[in-house]
Amino acid sequence: MDRVISMRVFVQAALAGSLSAAARHLDMSPAMATKHVNALESRLGVKLFHRTTRGLTLTEAGANYLEACQRILPDIEAAEAEAASQRLKASGLLRMNVPLSFGTLYIAPLLAEFTRRHPEVTLELGLSDAQLDLLSGHWDLAIRIGRLADSNLHTRQLGDSAMKVCAAPAYLDRRGIPRSVHELIQHNCLSYTLSTTQNQKHWVFGHKGEIQVPVQGDILANNGDALVAAALTGHGIIYQPHFIVCNALKRGDLVTLELDKPVMPLGGIHVLYPPDRRPPAKVRAMIDYLAEAFQSTPP
């Protein structure tokens, strides 16, 4: 039997002097109310009521237990109400885990408006390109870019972002412009170590990633911004998502290489959250807000 419900039955029975009255108040059968009180007495090892044909009277143990229940139950009800309110109204601490470059460029500028709309929410933004585990890290949600590994997490796609192969004009003036993917072996290719599309020895092209191209380069990094910074100095060629290089492309500091094979699709920008059938209002509010923001201004 549920101990809290049993305590509530006991309190109502003690106040009304009748199990049937307690049952009516709590919308249950008299037999079920009796079972709850019997379960309490069995668990405690004492009688809580003297039962007579005229009704119930408390034993000494019952009177002491009634006093304790009347202190405890309001705290439990308050805790339940607080927890339930968080499903109805966005409030509390919301912890988000986001890739470093994407979070800095696209998520951080959105946070002030979210807190204006939801002033009872406090945000904690964790910036990391490592694929951290949401559940063990106690994250409320995360943003992942690329193909998702199988998991029981819930997901919602926020948008797409194409890959770009690009370099600074100064590098291309000095080393020449590659026209085919196989010419990349002759160039300094700066690779992102956490990517499925590239490593120190190969870059992957084709709509299904079916083309592996040998490359070489003298800089590897686990962060795209670091590679962009190196490319801007004219040091080499990079293979990065559009959202990282778009500003440099717009300024003309980098230019896109037109190669003979298509880049491998990135796989999308997704928000992930724990498998809760009724996620808290703060989580639902952030997901809807991000979807709205990226629909109007795609990354």
Q: pLDDT (tens digit, 9 = 90+) per residue, 138-172?
A: 899 999 988 777 677 888 999 887 899 999 999 99
User: How far apart are the C-alpha atoms of 146 and 265, rounded to whole Å?
Assistant: 8
Dig out the tokens for 68 from the structure: 């304790």
What pLDDT score does 147 carry? Answer: 78
235 and 113 share one domain: no
CA 260 to chain centre: 38
Q: Are residues 236 and 103 part of one domain?
A: no
Does the pLDDT value for residue 79 go beyond 80?
Answer: no
- What is the per-residue pLDDT for 160? 83
Q: What distance in Å separates the CA atoms of residue 131 and residue 144, rounded to the nearest whole number?
A: 8
Last residue within a domain, chosen from 62, 88, 114: 88
**pLDDT attached to residue 119:** 94
Q: Do residues 139 and 132 touch, judged by C-beta distance below 8 A?
A: yes
Q: Tell me: do 140 and 155 sit in the same domain.
A: yes
Give the whole-angstrom CA distance, residue 192 versus residue 171: 19
Asked if residue 234 and residue 106 are part of one domain, the reply reads no
Between the ranges 53-57, 130-134, 289-293, where is the mean pLDDT highest? 289-293
User: Measuring CA to CA, which residue among 54, 52, 53, 67 is closest to residue 10?
Assistant: 67
Residue 240 identity (one-letter amino acid): Q
For residues 14 and 143, state if they share a domain: no
What confidence category does residue 1 fall into, taking pLDDT thresholds of 50, 70 and 90? Answer: low
Q: Which two tokens stand for residue 269?
A: 């920008």
Do 169 and 245 belong together in one domain? yes
Of 43-57, 108-122, 176-190, 204-218, the least confident:
43-57
> Are 38 and 107 found together in one domain?
no
At residue 89, the pLDDT reads 81
Q: In this structure, are 171 and 247 located in the same domain? A: yes
Task: Return the higher-pLDDT residue of 160 and 120.
Answer: 120
The reported pLDDT for the residue numbered 150 is 64
- Look at the chain and report how many structural domains it folds into: 3
- Residue found by looking up tokens 């952030």 in the block: 286
Please determine, for residue 135, whether its predicted confidence score (pLDDT) is greater than 80. Answer: no
Residues 205 and 249 grouped into a single domain: yes
Q: Among candidates 158, 157, 95, 154, which has minimal Cα distance to 123?
A: 95
Structure tokens at 88: 């109805």
CA gap 22, 34 in Å, rounded: 10
Provide, rounded to the nearest whole percent, the portion of the chain with pLDDT above 90.
64
CA–CA gap between residue 181 and residue 29 (Å, rounded): 76
Q: Which domain holds residue 151?
A: 92-160+267-296
Please tell me whether residues 34 and 84 are part of one structural domain: yes
Give the lowest-confidence range in 47-51, 126-130, 189-193: 126-130
pTM value surpassing 0.85: no
Are residues 50 and 131 located together in one domain of the fold? no
Q: Do 214 and 226 reside in the same domain of the chain?
A: yes
Where among 66, 88, 110 does a domain terminate? 88
Q: Residue 289 belongs to a domain with what CATH number?
A: 3.40.190.10
User: For position 7, which CATH number holds?
Assistant: 1.10.10.10
Query: Among 31, 57, 88, where does a domain finish?
Result: 88
The answer to whether position 30 is within a domain reads: yes
Q: Read off the pLDDT band of 277 (50, 70, 90).
A: low
